[in-house]
Copies of this chain bind each other. A is one copy, B any other.
Amino acid sequence: MDVKTVCLGMLTDGDASGYDLKKHFESSFGHFFAAGYGSIYPALASLAADGLVSCECIPQDGKPDRKVYSITPAGRDVLLAELDKPNPSHKIRSEFLATICFAHLMSADQVATVLRNRIAEIEAYEKLFDEFEQTCMHETPHGMHFTVGIGRAVMLAMKKYIQENGHELQHRSATVVNF
């Protein structure tokens, strides 16, 4: 399950351009599977070369051509085969936790700043989830709700843990900061 496969999956919901898919990756997939143009455009080109998607170029004045992609029956087969894999990965790459590992090499202020910023980021995600549920909750499939729910639960747990245990990390200086 790479960017190519996720693009295929998104295209089962209707034809779209690379630009459209990027917005999808940002909004609904952003919190667990981010992708930028540097991944999406090569992915679509490769899928088209393999006949898993078809491409229709729509000329526009001024702007570059819109390239609208549709999934083909072969593409659908590849997608379903990928969805059949029983053990899809779930990986975390956290510079945040890596930093915290070396908290004993940092000042209490530095640690406090890192923790505060992490909480702020979590709260930004929480707002994003709220907006998502208020706007496009009805039209999206069941699976999407589930991912939002997991996202919420996981971020809430992390926030709570930081708030309850963050102070123990600040031992180098006497300054204790509230979150």
A residues apposed to B, CB below 8 Å: 1, 5-6, 9, 12, 28-29, 31-34, 79-80, 83-106, 110, 113-114, 117-118, 121, 141-144, 146-147, 149-150, 153-154, 156-158, 160-162, 165, 168-169, 171
Contact = CB atoms under 8 A, between A and B. Distances in A.
A105 B83 CA distance: 8
Number of copies: 2
A153 B158 contact: yes
Contacts of A91: 34, 92-94
A100 B117 CA distance: 30
A89 B94 contact: yes
A29 B10 CA distance: 33
B101 A90 contact: no
A20 B95 CA distance: 21
Contact of A157 (B9, B85, B121, B154): B154
Given A84-B110, A91-B93, A104 B149 contact: no
A169 B150 contact: no
Contact of A29 (B29, B98, B103): B98
B168 A117 contact: no
Contacts of A100: 143, 146-147
B154 A168 contact: no
Given A153-B158, A157-B154, A157-B156, A97 B90 contact: yes
A113 B86 contact: yes
